[in-house]
Amino acid sequence: MKKIIAITKGDGIGPEVVEEGIKILKIISDYTEFEFEFQEALAGGAVWKKYGESLPEKSFETIKTSDALLFGAIGIPGLPQGVAEIAILKIRQGLDLYVNLRPIKLYDALKDRCPLKDEYIGEGIDITFVRENTEGLYKNIGELKEDEAHNIMLYTRKGCERIIKYAFEFAKRMGHKKVTSVDKANILKPSMLWRKIFHEIASDYSDLQTEDIYIDAFCQWLIRTPYSYQTVVTGNMFGDIASDEGAFLIGSLGMASSGNIHPGKVSMYEPIHGSAPDIAGKGIANPIGTILSVKLMMQESFGQVEVGNKIEGSIEDALKEGRTKDIENPILKTLSTQEMGNLISKKLKSRLKK
């Protein structure tokens, strides 16, 4: 089965981690019925410097006509704020990728890097953030003037309904028992609408428990009782922030993956971290967030749950033997980005052979 994968390497560590993601896709090509063809779609800060725009029309065309996009990260220090990053919003909004799926799962093999004491880890951490991805403060309705600036936090009924419905369906598909909604309905009007719609939709899913938590308190509960969350549905800005907090609970920002999804349409897969200029070019970036994004691609865009599970299993196997610097353990080998990717590749080959 032939699939075209658009590739955006981006800036900083983007190209380093994407290279490892491509390695995994090539192994899937070699060992399964899938055949991937790669097409580069340039985007980011370096592209802005060269062409004056961070997402040239040609790149968007390439992405639009592909079967899925694997995206690294973009952003270069010193550029005018936002000129690189806007490319991400153009893709998310241009393709109407209204779901941002962000799993936060602590592997047993990586428990030594969880910053929490055992009593807070409880039965384990396995949360999926379902972040609204096209509305809210990110709709880019705003203005920056010399003495004043604003963005409008705009949510529509349609926008709230579709993401909340997706979250309930996702929870059902995953066998979750509870859906948690995170908002700021004690003061923000869009959250008041959000909460009302959350309960309207919840009434169609009486098998699932529900709860509402305000974002400020949630940031505390996420550290205090992470074991109690399964599907967490939230708005665009809150989801951006809470997912980075969650990522450190599983060992590193470099461990967290995401899918920017419109079910049934071209979707975009990327680690949740940025271009990490502080470590770029050193060959030490953790590629696992990107490799887990490939897992999400296989699962969500291509319906290959089993292949996805094998990727995840290979990562768990590899973490017992070696680690990149951000998650290092003195009794294990410290690996470069490429070595980490190679070790996972080796494990994946043997799992796919079976």
- In the complex, least distance from residue 306 CB atom to ligand IPM, rounded to whole angstroms: 28
User: Quick check: is 265 catalytic?
Assistant: no
| Terminal-to-terminal C-alpha distance of the chain | 20
Find all residues with CB under 8 Å of 78, minimum gap 6, and list them.
none
Integer Cα distance of 168 and 181 in angstroms: 11
Q: Does 273 bind ligand NAD (CB under 6 A)?
A: yes
User: Quick check: is 244 catalytic?
Assistant: yes
Q: Does 132 bind ligand IPM (CB under 6 A)?
A: no
- In the complex, least distance from residue 234 CB atom to ligand NAD, rounded to whole angstroms: 17
Q: Binder to ligand IPM among 20, 132, 240, 326 (CB under 6 A)?
A: 240
Question: What's the number of CA atoms in the CB half-sphere (13 Å) around residue 120?
Answer: 13
Would you say 164 or 340 has its CB closer to ligand NAD? Answer: 340
Q: Binder to ligand NAD among 24, 326, 340, 343 (CB under 6 A)?
A: 326
DSSP-assigned states of every residue in 173-195: HHT-SEEEEEE-TTT-HHHHHHH
Integer Cα distance of 350 and 314 in angstroms: 9
Q: Does 308 bind ligand NAD (CB under 6 A)?
A: no
Find all residues with CB under 8 Å of 152, minimum gap 6, and list them.
137, 139, 141, 142
Residue 286 interaction partner, one of ligand IPM, ligand NAD, Mn ion, none, beta carbon < 5-8 Å per kind:
ligand NAD
Q: Does 278 bind ligand NAD (CB under 6 A)?
A: yes
Would you say 62 or 293 has its CB closer to ligand IPM? Answer: 293
* Four-point Cα dihedral 262, 266, 269, 272, nearest 10: -50
User: Quick check: is 147 catalytic?
Assistant: no
Residues found near ligand NAD in the complex (CB under 6 A): 13, 17, 73-75, 85, 88, 252-254, 270, 273-279, 285-286, 289, 326
